[in-house]
Chain A
Amino acid sequence: MSTYTPGQPVTAVVQRIEIHKLRQGDNLILGFSIGGGIDQDPGQNPFSGDKTDKGIYVTRITPGGPAHEAGLRMGDKIMQVNGWDMTMVTHDQARKTLTKKNEDTVRLLVTRKSLEDAVKNSMGSYPRQ
């Protein structure tokens, strides 16, 4: 996760995850829980590397649910949902964006530390130019 400096664009190595919602009775569920948001206390987030990061994080994944099958993992930070930015939203806005009733699938851009490390390691094997 890159640290955020105000005014500078945020760069991150992201993974594209597409989750198909599962119908359970009257609801469409995705099978994970989110935490975080600009109206929340970032110091209590156990998954963020930088404790001032107010982004949306995945806090729980129902095993066997749609999110788990799509490759979402606990601790992932959600950067975009269907093109909508998730780095500077309130908790409720994030929930609403994810649970739109007229959408069957959500395309997420998530980032996690292992992605960054993998890219760094692979880049490090080439000589610098």
Chain B
Amino acid sequence: MDTESTYSGYSYYSGRSRGSHRHGERSRDRHKPRSKDSRSEKSVTINTPPAEPLLGDSVVRGEQVQDDNWGETTTAVTGTSEHSLSQEDIVRITKDLEDSVGLDCRRYFTLTLAVILGLLVFLTPLAFLLLPHLLWPEKLQSCGTACEGLFISVAFKLLILLLAVWALFFRPPRAGLPRVFVFRALLAVLVLLFVVSYWLFYGVRILDSQDENYQGIVQYAVSLVDALLFIHYLAIVLLELRQLQPCFSVCVTRSTDGEMRHYNLGQLSIQRAALAILEHYYCDFPVHNPALLSASKSRAAKHLAGLKVYNVDGPGNNAAAGLAHSQSRAMIAAAARRRDTSHNELYYEEAEHERRVRKRKARLVVAVEEAFTHIKRMQEEEQKKAPGDVMDPREAAQAIFPSMARALQKYLRTTKQQHCHSMESIQQHLAFCITNNMTPKAFLESYLAPGPTLQYSRDHWLARQWTLISEASVTSGLKDGSIFVLKCADFSLVVTTKKIPYIQMSEEYIDPKSHKFVLRLQSETSV
């Protein structure tokens, strides 16, 4: 790549702009097809794009015609193409198959336990009330007015309990966590113990002795329902309210490109904190784009490839560790002595990339604005008058898409986002913007900057399976300085915690009448 005679792209630009001071500079990555590329942009052609998705260009047609950065995509395993299946995908699919069976079993198991407990809890007061009528109806005292009033109270309290339990517990599960949810387990055990103890008392003191005082039995049932409502209050406080007050500030860093965000969390266990962080991740972090990392990888490869270390002393002379140590020291020493000009290349490459992106963006903006002028929304009266050639939003989008397709495709290639957007999704978005009367700028915003991961289509969520790596137990609470890692197949999120400090505030009273001012004069009088 270094020694080929390359066609310098700059001579094209210097031909157009006189006195360009970069005339003599040659960039190593330029390639001859670039001149064909720029020449064809002068003529206006509207050609319908091929039937395959936008992504298909880079894989099917190869990189002969329009790819500007062929040097970066030839030999690396990018894993960005929809059609190719990288090694990571295969591993992930097999892991998914193995784990999904185990997880589903666990989920159904906990679900059935919860349902059984719920039924037990709801039917117990009713059982307490009905059993005396069934077992010793003749001995039972008749129920007076106070007793019947208590029936109403039991009924309504049970209804409230039912609604409250439905609101708190019967929600679709957000995630499957590695360990059991400690607070829920404790609450379930508490409820079970409670109900069992009530049954014990009932069985021994009431069923065995066949108590006739029905009012006492009804009051006993009411006290059970009251206590259940209080346990539900305890559940709300433990599960929902306790973590609302922010206690820790967590810093989440993505390992591949260093994107960092800070969030405030309350007192949570590590697994629940990880869940909250992942939900924030999908909304806040820009989507992970592996194509942007290939530049630094190639630079690192160049560093390593520049030197070869030979062992002159022959094998078996040193121990293996000593050999590696001396090798690395030799490499470091040689690298320090060598005059490294890679920073120069990086600087010019980045400046040139910036220029290219801005140029493409300008073309894109103009093309989109022009495309949007081709269609006009029809008013109600006009709709009745001219039934011919009327399009719905989808057809309108398909009609104007070809005029901007080329510019958009070029821009996405330059910013390495072409695998994030398929042609279908672009047309859908265009129809959506047209329907909602959006301006061309509003349409373009989602392509100019990488959005959060949730914005892209479902199959781009390459990671649904996350692994929590932590030195402390994942059910233990967050502490100041705890560090854990959330790993998915492509990257990992490193999370560090810091405690929000205790704030000591004091007050100072200012009398409103104490605000007084003087003039700062320096007058000059002539005498």
Contact = CB atoms under 8 A, between A and B. Distances in A.
Nearest to A27: B527
Q: Which 9 A-B pairs have the closest CB atoms?
A: A41-B520, A44-B522, A33-B526, A98-B527, A35-B524, A30-B527, A95-B525, A33-B524, A59-B524
Contacts, number: 39
B527 A35 contact: no
A18 to B, nearest CB: 15
B526 A35 contact: no
B527 A41 contact: no
A39 B524 CA distance: 13
Interface of A: 29-30, 32-36, 39-41, 43-45, 59-60, 91, 95, 98-99
A98 B526 CA distance: 10
A32 B525 contact: no
A36 B525 CA distance: 10
Contacts of B521: 39-41, 91
B523 interface: yes
Nearest to A43: B520
A68 to B, nearest CB: 13
A26 to B, nearest CB: 15
Interface string B377-392: 0000000000000000
Nearest to B523: A91
Contacts of B524: 33-35, 59-60
Contacts of B522: 35-36, 40-41, 44-45
Given A32-B526, A40-B521, A59-B524, 9 more contacts: A32-B527, A35-B524, A40-B522, A41-B521, A43-B520, A60-B526, A91-B525, A95-B525, A95-B527
A33 B527 CA distance: 6
B525 to A, nearest CB: 5
Interface of B: 520-527
A30 B526 CA distance: 8
Contacts of B525: 33-35, 91, 95
B520 A99 contact: no
Contacts of B523: 35, 40, 91
Question: Most A CB atoms within 10 A — which of B520, B522, B524, B527?
Answer: B527
Nearest to A91: B523
Contacts of A95: 525, 527
B527 to A, nearest CB: 5
A99 B63 CA distance: 97
Nearest to A46: B522
Contacts of A36: 522
B522 to A, nearest CB: 4
A58 to B, nearest CB: 10
A40 B523 CA distance: 8
A35 B523 CA distance: 6
Contacts of A43: 520
A30 B521 CA distance: 23
9 contacts: A30-B527, A32-B527, A33-B524, A33-B525, A34-B525, A34-B527, A35-B523, A36-B522, A43-B520
A12 B527 CA distance: 24
A41 B521 CA distance: 5
A61 B525 CA distance: 12
Nearest to B525: A95
A33 B522 CA distance: 12
Contacts of A34: 524-527
Nearest to B522: A44
Contacts of A60: 524, 526
B521 to A, nearest CB: 5
A114 B525 CA distance: 25
A30 B525 CA distance: 12
Contacts of B526: 29, 32-34, 60
Contacts of A91: 521, 523, 525
A64 B516 CA distance: 45
A99 B525 CA distance: 11
A44 B520 contact: yes
Contacts of B520: 41, 43-44
A99 B527 CA distance: 6
A34 B520 CA distance: 17
A60 B527 CA distance: 10
A30 B527 CA distance: 6
Contacts of A33: 524-527
A36 to B, nearest CB: 8
A98 B525 CA distance: 11
A129 to B, nearest CB: 44
Contacts of A32: 526-527
